[in-house]
A and B are shown apart, each in its own frame.
Chain A
Amino acid sequence: MSNLEQEKQLLDGLALNDGAVIESIYRDNYPVIQSFILNNNGNSDEARDIFQEAMIVIYEKAVSGNFELNCLLKTYIYSVCRRLWLKRLHQLQRYGSLVENIEETVAVEEDLELHEKHNTDFILMEAAMNKIGEPCKSLLDAYYLQKKNMQEIAADFGYTNADNAKTQKYKCLVRLKKLFFAQYKNGN
């Protein structure tokens, strides 16, 4: 029971983007995943990629708040990485039977589908951001992504005052919205 509580704490820390928590999850799980991927036609760069993606899957679940872990975090991570790696192997057309220790796995398909969806949204937003051009991109990035305040932004971008920067920011937001929804509707 205390184990589960501990893991719950890890997930809470993860949702807050706590570096120490990320590090401890890496330390506990990375070696297993790396050897799994190295044993199955992969290299260490691919192991890093897969583990990173798995971390993002868990992060998204942790942030959503309704992540109920029915198994050990370790099992969950292994299952996600295994699934992701099988998919990657399939894409790369490197076939072959999996070499693995007998590890317990849980079903993660639904979670990965959701992650896929999040990922598409992420790419759409990034594409929209790249399309709006400067100074809009930097302006929105500074306010919405880096969470700087309007005074700082006005100074950085050379606006005479925060109100001018604000007006410009809203104009940019209108453009972003148009681009984003245009693609979003096409993509779905």
Chain B
Amino acid sequence: MDELLLIETVERYLKGDMTAQEKIFFEEIRKKNPDIDQLVVEHTFLFHELDKQANIKAFKHSLYEVESKLAEEGIISKKQLTGKAKVVFLWKKYKRSIAVAASIAGLVSIVTTASISTYNNKVDNSNIKDLIYEVKKDTDKKIAEFKDSLNQKTSKRNPNPNYRATGFLIDGKGFIVTNAHVVNRLKTIYVENNKGEYFTAQTIYADKNTDLAILKINDTSFKAVYNLPYSINKTNSNLGEQIFTMGYPRNEIVYGEGYLSAKSGNEGDSTAYQLSVSVNPGNSGGPVLNKNGQIIGIITSKNSTADGVVFAAKSKNIYKLLDALKENGDTVSIKLPNNTGLKGLDREQQVKKMEDFVFMVVGN
């Protein structure tokens, strides 16, 4: 018998889709033919395993949902320990390794001094390139116009942008994080969602040091969205962590994946990470997520002479930005998302859920 047909038959048999007569006939064959019997046994096992897989996955997803609900209510504490308590905790945790590290530190420092001093001379800022995209007059504009004509119902304006970058929502009321170098170059700012709808936006805060900026959509046609599925990580991520990013190097959203390759940015900048991921002009301001769907950083720039050296501002800077905003006496209240709706999902599903919250930032 043809193997595929045989498997189909076995599957129908196991699911109980056979008529009584068929079943008797099949069992007869099974009895006479040990090979087929073996196949039935194997497939029973395989289907059983697949079923278990499906159930556990579904169950895990329910667990995450319950968890994030209870975390909202404060029954499950989400906060990492902060301040003094954290230091004490870390001290306890690493007492032994610190002791060991301290004893060999002297030795290492002598050995590495020479190499650091020679290496440092080579670092040159001219290689660092912001990832904002200058829109070419011809093709991109035509595409934008064409998209516009398709979307006449939704987008009222055609901003005819000169620059393009990326941003993402940090509060469904219309607050978007992007790069400071993006907003500094734009006089008028528009954001566009993946449905092609344009909204006007204004900068409410920009910080050159971390290269981050917060925009507020001030367009009346913008409707607040709820339940951003991600959270914004407050702690440092680990070396080697798998990451992915989404952004607009093209007129269409583009996905990229890679890993965290160093815990500091250009010239040891401790407010940034170095990533190995493929990004291009236009990716600036794009969110960097880990496998659990937590935002760990924001793409800022790349080294134009070295391969795969990309820098991203650490996500905890967003918290600092909000603090600075408060100190400025600003009255805006931004509530950062804290959900785990992406945890445990396949990458495609994570991306699908993410898409709606990643915006194109354009302007002149």
Would you call B70 and A30 a contact (CB within 8 A)? Answer: yes
Does the CB pair B66–A170 fall under 8 Å?
A: no
- B interface, over-half SS: helix
Q: Mark A145-170, 1 if CB is under 8 A from B, else 0.
A: 11100000000000000000011001
Q: Indicate if B42 sits at the interface (CB-CB under 8 A).
A: yes
Q: Is B92 an interface residue (CB 8 A)?
A: yes
CA distance A26 to B57 in the complex (A): 18
| Interface assignment of B185: CB less than 8 Å from any CB of chain A | no
Contact of A59 among B7, B42, B59 (CB under 8 A): B59
Report whether A17 and B58 are in contact in the complex, using a CB–CB cutoff of 8 Å.
yes
How near does chain A come to B83, taking the closest CB pair, in angstroms? 14
**Complex interface: chain A residues within 8 A of B57 (CB):** 145
The stretch from A67-75, A77-85, A118-126 touching chain B is: A118-126
B77 touches A34 (CB 8 A): yes
Chain A residues in 8 Å Cβ range of B78: 44
Identity of the chain A residue whose Cβ is nearest the Cβ of B4 in the assembled complex? A170
A-B interface pairs (CB < 8 A), number: 99
Q: Does A63 contact B (CB under 8 A)?
A: yes
Check if B81 is an interface residue, CB within 8 A of chain A.
Answer: yes
Contact with A along B70-91 (1 / 0, CB 8 A): 1000011111110000000100
Interface SS of chain A: helix
Given known contacts A122-B56, A147-B54, A43 and B70 CB-to-CB distance under 8 angstroms:
no
A141 CB → nearest B CB, Å: 7
A17 touches B79 (CB 8 A): no
A23-B70 contact in complex given A122-B52, A144-B50, C-beta closer than 8 Å: yes
Task: Find out whether the CB atom of B8 lies under 8 angstroms from the CB atom of A44.
Answer: no
What 0/1 readout, one digit per residue, does chain A (161-188) give for beta carbons within 8 Å of chain B?
0000011001101101100110000000
Please tell me if B257 contacts chain A, counting CB pairs below 8 Å.
Answer: no
CB neighbours of B79 from chain A (8 A): 44
CB-based nearest A residue for B64: A52
- A-side contacts of B67, CB under 8 Å: 26, 48, 52
In contact, B89 and A43 (Cβ under 8 angstroms):
yes
How far is A125 from B89 in the complex, measured between Cα atoms in Å? 38
From residue 1 to 29 of chain B, which have CB atoms closer than 8 A to chain A?
3-4, 7-8
Query: What is the bound-complex CA distance between A34 and B71, given in angstroms?
Result: 13
How close is A167's CB to chain B, nearest CB, in angstroms?
7
Quick one: closest B residue to A60, CB to CB?
B56
Q: Within 8 Å of chain B (Cβ to Cβ): is A131?
A: no
CB distance from A23 to the nearest CB of B (A): 5
Q: Give the nearest-CB partner of A126 in chain B.
A: B53
Q: In the complex, which residues 40-60 of chain A have their Cβ closer than 8 Å to any Cβ of chain B?
A: 41, 43-45, 48, 52, 55-56, 59-60
- Check A138 for interface membership: any CB of B closer than 8 A: yes
Shortest Cβ distance from residue A124 to the other chain B in the assembled complex, whole angstroms: 8
Does A145 contact B56, Cβ atoms closer than 8 Å? Answer: no
Q: Which residues of B contact A65 (CB under 8 A)?
A: none
Nearest CB in chain B: distance from A62 CB, A = 10
Spell out A's residues near B (CB within 8 Å): 17, 19, 22-23, 26-27, 30-31, 34, 41, 43-45, 48, 52, 55-56, 59-60, 63, 94, 118, 121-122, 125-126, 129, 138, 140-141, 144-147, 166-167, 170-171, 173-174, 176-177, 180-181
Q: Chain B interface (Cβ within 8 Å of chain A)? A: 3-4, 7-8, 42-43, 46-47, 49-60, 62-63, 65-67, 69-70, 75-81, 89, 92-93, 346, 348
| 23 A-B residue pairings within 8 Å (CB atoms) | A17-B55, A17-B58, A19-B62, A22-B66, A27-B70, A27-B75, A30-B75, A31-B75, A43-B80, A48-B67, A52-B63, A122-B56, A125-B53, A140-B50, A141-B346, A144-B54, A145-B53, A170-B4, A173-B46, A174-B7, A177-B42, A177-B46, A180-B49
Closest 8 CB pairs of A and B: A145-B54, A144-B50, A170-B4, A44-B77, A22-B66, A23-B66, A125-B53, A170-B7
